Structure 1
C-alpha cells in the first residue's frame, strides 16, 4: 500500500489474518456457508512468508523522538514562567497560560495524544482503589482514543503514575479554571473564545514554548506521548502495563514509540556490570 509505514502495514495484515482465521475456523461454519453460496471455501492469505516484518529495531520516523528529561524540565519550567510573567504584569492572559502549562503536563503525565487531550472533560477523572494517595485523580477516562480507520474512537482508562499529577490537576480545576470565560462548559480545557481549546492553539503554543527554550524543532506535541512511554520504560515499568496505559493493541506499536536514551543504556549496562562484579567478589562464592 503506497504511502503506509511498515507498522501500519503490519496492523492491516494482522487484521486480515485474524479475519481469515475466524472465517476458516470450523467452529463457526463459514466454510460450509461459502461453499454453499459461492462454490468454494475461504482460505488464509497472510502467512509469515508474505507478511511485513520488523525491519529495524526502531521503525519510527527518525526525526520524531521523545524529550530527554532535561529538555522536558526546561519546557515545563518555561511554561510556568509564562504564567508568572503574565500574572506579574496584571494581564488576564495568565489564565490561558496556566491552562496551557497544565494541559502540557497532563498530556505527558497520562501519555495522551493531541485530540485525546483536548477532548477531556471534567468528569473524566476518578478514583483508583489501589492508588488512594491520588484521591479523586487516580484514573483518567480517555474517551477519544485513536481508533482504526473508519472505526469510532476507543475508550481506555489510564492510571495516574506520578505523585505530582493530582495536585497540579486539582489546582487547575478548583482554583484557576473557574476564572475562565467558558468555565461553565464541561470541557477540561476551555478556550478564551469557546468551550473547548482547538488543535491549532495547542500546536502554536507548543511550538512557541519549544522555540523560546531553543529546543529541537523536531519536538512536537506527539513527543509528549513518546516521552511518557520512554520514561516509563526507563523507570522499569512492565512493558505490558505501558502498552495498556497508552492503548496500543500490539507490543510492536509501543516499541516504535519507545526512544530510550543512550544515558539510560549506559546506566543499565553499569548496573549489570556492577552486579556481576559484586557477585564475583561476594565472600563464600564458589566457582
Structure 2
C-alpha cells in the first residue's frame, strides 16, 4: 500500500504506512528523492551516483540525515584526498539531497520531528564549500596528444593486430576493432559514449564529398545531454579521409566475422553485444601502456587532440568553433543482406588477408584534408 504527503511515501509489507525505525525513514527519503529527480528527467546514472554519495556519507559518519553536522561533512571531505572536481561533486550531492528533505513541500521536516525528535539541516554552505571558479577542473595531465604520441598509440594498436594475426591466437577480432575504434574517436572528435553507441548506419554520404562514399558524415545520436534533456544529436563531417578508409575496411571485412549481422551496433564484443564505455576505457588504457604514454592520458584526450590538430592543420576557425564552441557540440556541418559468418568455427580468427591493416596511421600524412575544413 502506498500513501504519504508529497515526497513522503513508504510501501510497507503489512499494508500500513508507518516509520518504525530511523533507517526506514532514511530509505523512504531516498526513495522520494529518487522519484523527484526522475520527474525532473535526470539521467539514471546521475541519480544513482548521487544516492551512492549520500550512502557513503552515512557510512562514514554512522549517522542519519537529521544527525548530520557541518563538522562531519568537513571531516569526510578532508579525509579522502580526492580531486577538486570530486569534492565539488560530493558537496553538490549532499546539498541537493538536504535541499530536498528540508523543503517544506515534501513534509520530511515535520515527519522527522514527530518520529525522531530532530530535523535535518544543510551542512554544506558558503563557509565550507569549494567554489566552482574555473571552467576546467580536470587533472593538468589530461591534455591533447602530440602527433608523436598519437603515432606511438596507433602503432601499438596496429602492431597488436598484426601480431595476433601472425601468432594465430584469439583476440584478432577485438584487436582490429579496438584499433579502428580509437581511430574513429580521434578522426571524428567523439566522446567515449558517443563512440560506443554508434550503429553501422550512423555514417552516411556527404553529397559534397562523394569520394568518401558512405563515410562522409557521422551522425552522433548520443551526444552529451543538457540537464533533464535527452542525448543531443549532431552531425560530424568527415575531414580525415584516411579514417574513412580504415572504418570501411573494418565494416566490410572484420565486423561480419562476429556473426551478429542483426545487431545494429558498430562495435561488437566477441559475444555479439555492444561494447560498453567501461570496455572502451580499459582498452585505451592497455594500448596507452603498450605505447609507453603517460597514465594521465584518457580516451577524451583523443577528442582534444582532434580539435588541436584541426587548428594546426589550418582549419577554418569558424569550422572549429562550430565543433567545439561555447555549447561544445558539433552543429550540422555539410561540405554533405549478408550471410551470417561464423569466425573460423567460433575461434575468432581473421582470414590471413585481413591481418594486414590497409591504412595504418601516419602522423605525417594523416591530418585533416584542407579541402574539407576550409
Q: Contact 2:203–2:215 at 8 Å: present in 1 too?
A: yes
Larger gyration radius, structure 1 or structure 2 = 2
Instruction: Report the CA distance between 1:247 and its aligned residue.
Output: 7.3
**Aligned with 2:235 (options 146, 154, 157):** 157
Q: How does 1:169-208 map to 2 (within 5 A)?
A: 169-208=247-286
Q: Does the C-alpha gap of structure 1 residues 248 and 213 become closer, same or farther in structure 2, counting only changes over 3 Å?
A: same
Q: Contact 1:75–1:209 at 8 Å: present in 2 too?
A: yes
Please name the residue that 2:217 is paired with.
139
Establish whether residue 91 from structure 1 lines up as the match of residue 91 from structure 2: no
Q: How does 1:29-44 map to 2 (within 5 A)?
A: none
CA distance in 2, matches of 1:143, 1:73: 29
Q: How does 1:234-253 map to 2 (within 5 A)?
A: 234-246=312-324, 249=327
Aligned length: 203
Does the residue aligned with 1:96 lie in a helix, a strand or coil?
Answer: helix
Q: Does the C-alpha gap of structure 1 residues 225 and 165 become closer, same or farther in structure 2, counting only changes over 3 Å?
A: same
Instruction: Report the CA distance between 1:73 and its aligned residue.
Output: 0.7
Please name the residue that 1:3 is paired with.
88
Please name the residue that 2:101 is paired with.
none
Does the residue aligned with 1:152 lie in a helix, a strand or coil?
Answer: coil
CA distance in 2, matches of 1:136, 1:250: 26
Does the residue aligned with 2:161 lie in a helix, a strand or coil?
Answer: helix
Q: Contact 1:159–1:245 at 8 Å: present in 2 too?
A: no
**Aligned with 1:113 (options 188, 191, 212):** 191
TM-score w.r.t. structure 1 length?
Answer: 0.65
Establish whether residue 231 from structure 1 lines up as the match of residue 231 from structure 2: no
User: 1:85-119: per-residue Cα shift (whole Å, max 9, x none)?
Assistant: 11111123101110000000000000000000000
Off by >6 Å, runs of 4+ in structure 1 = 52-56
Instruction: Report the CA distance between 1:213 and its aligned residue.
Output: 1.4
Q: How does 1:274-285 map to 2 (within 5 A)?
A: none
CA distance in 1, matches of 2:133, 2:311: 20
Q: Does the C-alpha gap of structure 1 residues 85 and 53 become closer, same or farther in structure 2, counting only changes over 3 Å?
A: closer
Please name the residue that 1:272 is paired with.
none
TM-score w.r.t. structure 2 length?
Answer: 0.51
Please name the residue that 1:18 is paired with.
none
Q: Contact 1:66–1:226 at 8 Å: present in 2 too?
A: yes
CA distance in 2, matches of 1:154, 1:243: 18
Q: How does 1:206-225 map to 2 (within 5 A)?
A: 206-225=284-303
CA distance in 1, matches of 2:322, 2:228: 22
CA distance in 1, matches of 2:214, 2:324: 21
Gaps of 5+ in 2: 1-84, 90-130, 330-374
